[in-house]
Amino acid sequence: MSKRSKALVQEELGVWGSRGVIGHFDHPLSRPWVEFTDKLAPLMAEVVGANEKEVAVMATLTSNLHLMMDSFYKPTPERYKILCEAKAFPSDQYAFASQALAHGLDPTKAILELSPREGEYTLREEDILRTLDEQGSSIALVLFSGVQYYTGQWFPIESITKKAKEQGCICGWDLAHAAGNVPLRLHGWNVDFAVWCTYKYLNSSPGGIAGAFMHEKWNDIERPKFAGWWGHELATRFQMPPTFSPITGVQGFQQSNPSVLALASLLGSLETLKEAGMMNPVRERSLQLTGALEKLLKQSKYFVPASEVLQKYTQSGSTAPGFTIITPAEPSSRGAQLSLLFLPVGSGIMQKVFHTLLSYGVIGDERQPDVIRLAPAPLYNTLEDCENGAKFVEKAMDLL
């Protein structure tokens, strides 16, 4: 939590207590709630590489995903597939399946999932592009994660989007683990739409408000299918007209009045990010920190190179405790995250290590069945934090 976020939330609580509903229009700190998102949109646009009017701060990630898919997933008998990575975040999988079902399609046939090659943990760019070349005519929507939540792989957004467009596919992205983590240029890359949350690298608060992007080229074509009053143009919104007159672009997809406390928390975080110079210097610092953590972890006596895991644990049947890193070693193919896979798979070692790390004050993130995600946050973590993190992983393994 940023200090700025805490201060802004406290300020808005004060305005709520003293002004009540009037704070929507008459705000002592010049932040009328009805226009609060106007302060967020330009900052968010910088984060994702978009024009200000191409970005909306609204709702939640999966809700926004459904809104975008309702507009952009238009299957035909010939072109109906959704191309995505296998083992995408479960909420995305549920959304894809339910969207297919809503169109009367069998999800097992409509959803085309790509898996890594045998013995590998991440997808190869050439395999994704080849699939688009071979099956593009049957693919209606390409929808990968910007950064894969489990492995930490940063997908080549520009090249995948370019190939998808060449094949006549709509291309959207789930940027939950990319927004605020890696530099993005959604407008310049010709992405059709994207959605993301803000409570990971954007530090907006648990369950904080989400974001959506729609390229301006769609403004005159795609209108909200599930309208709400917060998407109505502000000039006449509070006249309560019976006919919907949407804000142009993605902001017209807003439905309900957002929580001002969630907005204030996000504003504080984005202002802190802006003060740090936005994504380029943050990315430089991230590369330094994650690179240092990786180097230290690989010095562990328990570390097993990813290329040796199959032979050691599957073919030879080793039961020795160990871990590997399944995140790409190439810095340009990852963000801040390193995913540590604990071995043997299914042995319960990860859970023991995770709880030991907690006792040392190291806050990672466990992902079943066997991964702990460690991500040095460039806005507040230090090289000393990386050294301590690696040291305590070693101690936790020693205690097994």
* Annotated binding residue 199: yes
* Annotated binding residue 229: yes
Residues facing residue 185 across a β-bridge = none
CB 173 within 8 A of CB 157: yes
CB 273 within 8 A of CB 202: yes
* Annotated binding residue 189: no
Contacting residues for 370 by C-beta, under 8 A, at least 6 apart: 341, 342, 343, 345, 346, 347, 349, 350
* Annotated binding residue 75: no
What's the length of the chain?
Answer: 400
* Annotated binding residue 90: yes
* Annotated binding residue 30: no
Q: What values do phi and psi take at 195, rounded to 5?
A: -135, 155
* Annotated binding residue 116: no
* Annotated binding residue 96: no
CB 350 within 8 A of CB 370: yes
**CB half-sphere exposure, 341, CA atoms < 13 A:** 21
* Annotated binding residue 89: yes
* Annotated binding residue 359: no
Pairing of strands 371-374, 338-343: antiparallel
Compute the distance between CA of residue 361 and CA of residue 355 in angstroms, rounded to an integer: 10
Residues annotated in a binding site for pyridoxal 5'-phosphate:
61-62, 89-92, 145, 174, 177, 199, 229, 257
Residues annotated in a binding site:
61-62, 89-92, 145, 174, 177, 199, 229, 257
